[in-house]
Amino acid sequence: MTEQSSLPETEITFESLNLADPITKALEGLGYEKPSPIQARTIPLLLEGRDVVGLAQTGTGKTAAFALPVLSKLAEVDERHDSPQVLVLAPTRELALQVAEAFTSYAAHIPTVSVVPVYGGSSYGPQLAGLRRGATIVVGTPGRVIDHLERGSLDLSDLKYLVLDEADEMLRMGFAEDVDRILSEAPDGKQTALFSATMPRAIQRITGDYLNNPEQVEVAGQSKPAQNIRQRYLQVAQPWKLEAMTRLLETEETDGIITFVRTRNMVEELTSKLIARGFAAAAISGDIPQNLREKTVNDLRAGRIDILVATDVAARGLDVERISHVINYDIPHDTASYVHRIGRTGRAGRQGDAILLMTPRERYLLRSIEKATKQSVEEMQLPSLDEVNASRRAAFAEEITKTIASQVESDEFSVYRDLVANYIEEHNVAAVDIAAALAMMAQDGRPLEAAEPDLPPMNMRGRRKEQQSGERSSRPKRPSKEGQATYWIAVGHKDRVGPGNIVGAIANEANIDTSDIGDIQIRPTFSLVELPEKLSHQQEEALKNAVVGGRKLNLRLDRGAPKSFDSRGSRGGGFDGAQRGQKKKQRWSKTKKRSDFNS
């Protein structure tokens, strides 16, 4: 292997790379002007026919680095091939699909080129049909490529170019034997490019066994977000997150949105709640079938849905240009995940927005992100109800304007106009009152303006003072609502918990809506909370074992205070001051006797 190539630091454009005219034309249509470092250094080498080892992280532009020179060479030949000329191996079906889509877009002006992705978890039928028609480029996962080789549906005898994308990931996933077999069955004269984030011994072995005097190109990974991504955070208590996100969605100018959460369960839960609030949302997780995943991503691209809720794992390989916002509903625990998440917006030089919903206890994670990325994240304020309602009124007015502009010449519009005119004449009613009545009909009982949600107030300090002032009472300060009961939980002020911690744990662990959580009174050693009277067995067990402040809640129905309830909120012994003093003296005496005996 030769030493790492060193190219002069000059202003390089795609035009200066001597790519074939159809490729340059496709890049112009896509709005690409300047290649990334890995592209600028790799494309000339591959155009020269050299084997290349590229060391670069995900998100540095590796796909174009190998796709553009390969397509440029195919465009120069400009003839249709019955058997594959290019094989690209990728570790996952998501990446295989992404690479295949990239090849297709770059080859838009090369009619002789066809691209067929082959991957597991999907039907063989379309893949076999594509291969039979004659695929110029095959992009696949190692296991499915082996399957097609064994079936005889994939022929590598005429292969000219072979690419291993994210080779270290392929080997880590256990594809080493498959990769060896594919490389050994490919013709000796092929040109090979291998891309990897790291250079472990297994990659060095493959490079030595199968590549011909390769040139190594190494590019540092992206350690901080792009400058065209505006980063903001909103500090919000856990039970307020859904309300906060709803207000953001109603007041921000958005296009496509990806919302990241930590768990698969939360993906489904948040998606359902967003849909219930009228947003066009869809879930994507590792559990959904591949065909449904593809449909969901296509719906996002086409604007049929606006919000995609996903985990980090499920969103791998996801590249949709219309993403204007990335919302971190749950803050990631490592900086790399944060950078990778928000890198889904601000693509192709566009302006992007990244918003982080952060609880007060997670501030240390924000500090870690800012320190690692060397970029500050600006604080934002929760949009007020007045702002939300102003946005709703403006959106409603905009819909009226659009409808008039698009329908004013239609026959249907004339029917309604005549109907209203006749109504005014017959009933002597002002046109504005008729319009208001029609608007209410259109809303179908849904209020246009938002009301204050039934949630703990944002000002937790004021809430805490209110609770502390009532601590001497042995019962909640107001009777439980109908259908609710008062429960005792084993955490209190000594555990440094607040209402937000308790509400968040109950809502998340027992899947109880925050609107069903009533008064919370936090005492020194325990707390009282109003919940639905009839909890399921699963909910009770979940709340007995839920942990807040490092302690199990041990939830049970509150049976009332002992007769000699201590005014300080202790349920420990029920002794008055004199009795406690006497008991303490007795324990000291016993301890002293044991000590004397042992000595």
pLDDT tens readout for residues 582-598: 443 444 344 343 334 33
Structure tokens at 514: 């925050």
Instruction: Give the pLDDT mean for 100-114.
Output: 92
Q: Is 506 exposed, middle or buried (0-12, 13-18, 19+ CB in 10 A)?
A: buried
What confidence tens digit (pLDDT) does each residue in 53-84 have?
999 866 567 889 999 999 999 998 877 888 99
* Beta carbons within 8 Å of 363's beta carbon, 6+ residues apart: 235
Share of the chain above pLDDT 70, in %: 83
Structure tokens at 69: 């020179």
Residue 135 carries which side chain, given as an amino acid letter?
A
Would you state the pLDDT for residue 21? 94
Question: Highest-confidence range of 248-257, 454-463, 515-524, by mean pLDDT?
Answer: 248-257
* Beta carbons within 8 Å of 576's beta carbon, 6+ residues apart: 564
Which DSSP category does 329 fall into? S
Asked if residue 553 lies in contact with residue 505, where contact means CB atoms within 8 angstroms, the answer is: yes
Structure tokens at 511: 């899947």
Residue 443 scores a pLDDT above 50: yes
Q: In what order do the strands lie in the sheet with 191-196?
A: 115-118, 137-140, 86-89, 161-164, 191-196, 52-55, 215-218
What is the band of 561 on the pLDDT scale with cuts at 50, 70, 90? low
Q: pLDDT higher for 481 or 127? A: 127
Would you state the pLDDT for residue 114? 93
Structure tokens at 316: 């791998």
Instruction: Give the pLDDT mean for 553-559.
Output: 88
Would you state the pLDDT for residue 209? 92
* Beta carbons within 8 Å of 57's beta carbon, 6+ residues apart: 197, 220, 221, 222
Architecture of domain 229-383: 3-Layer(aba) Sandwich (3.40)
Would you state the pLDDT for residue 480? 53
What confidence tens digit (pLDDT) does each residue in 162-179 have?
999 989 888 878 889 999
Closest by alpha carbon to 330, among 294, 303, 355? Answer: 355
Bridge-based pairing state of the strands 161-164 and 137-140: unpaired
Element spanning 340, H or E: helix 335-342
Asked if residue 91 lies in contact with residue 65, where contact means CB atoms within 8 angstroms, the answer is: no
Helix, strand, or coil (residue 6): coil
Mean pLDDT of the chain: 81
- Burial of 138-167, coded b for 16+ CB within 10 Å and e otherwise, reads bbbbbebbbbbbeeeebebeebbbbbbbbb
Would you state the pLDDT for residue 588? 39
Dihedral angle over CA of 587, 589, 593, 599, nearest 10: 90
Would you state the pLDDT for residue 222? 56
* Beta carbons within 8 Å of 79's beta carbon, 6+ residues apart: 112
Question: Highest-confidence range of 256-260, 288-292, 314-318, 558-562, by mean pLDDT?
Answer: 256-260
User: What whole-number distance in Å separates Cα of residue 99 and Cα of residue 299?
Assistant: 19
Q: What is the fold, at CATH topology level, of the domain defined by 15-218?
A: Rossmann fold (3.40.50)
If you search the block for the tokens 């084993």, which residue do you land on? Answer: 490
- Burial of 566-599, coded b for 16+ CB within 10 Å and e otherwise, reads beebbeeeeeeeeeeeeeeeeeeeeeeeeeeeee
Q: pLDDT higher for 215 or 80? A: 215
Closest by alpha carbon to 178, among 191, 189, 164, 161? Answer: 164
What confidence tens digit (pLDDT) does each residue in 321-332 have?
899 999 999 988
What is the band of 467 on the pLDDT scale with cuts at 50, 70, 90? very low
Q: Is the dihedral of CA 468, 469, 474, 475 positive or negative?
A: negative
CATH superfamily of the domain spanning 467-557: RRM (RNA recognition motif) domain (3.30.70.330)
Q: Give the number of residues written for the chain.
A: 599
Poorest-pLDDT segment among 75-79, 187-191, 446-450:
446-450
User: What whole-number distance in Å separates Cα of residue 92 and Cα of residue 97?
Assistant: 9
Which long-range contacts (C-beta less than 8 Å, at least 24 apart) are formed by 534-537? 534/483, 535/510
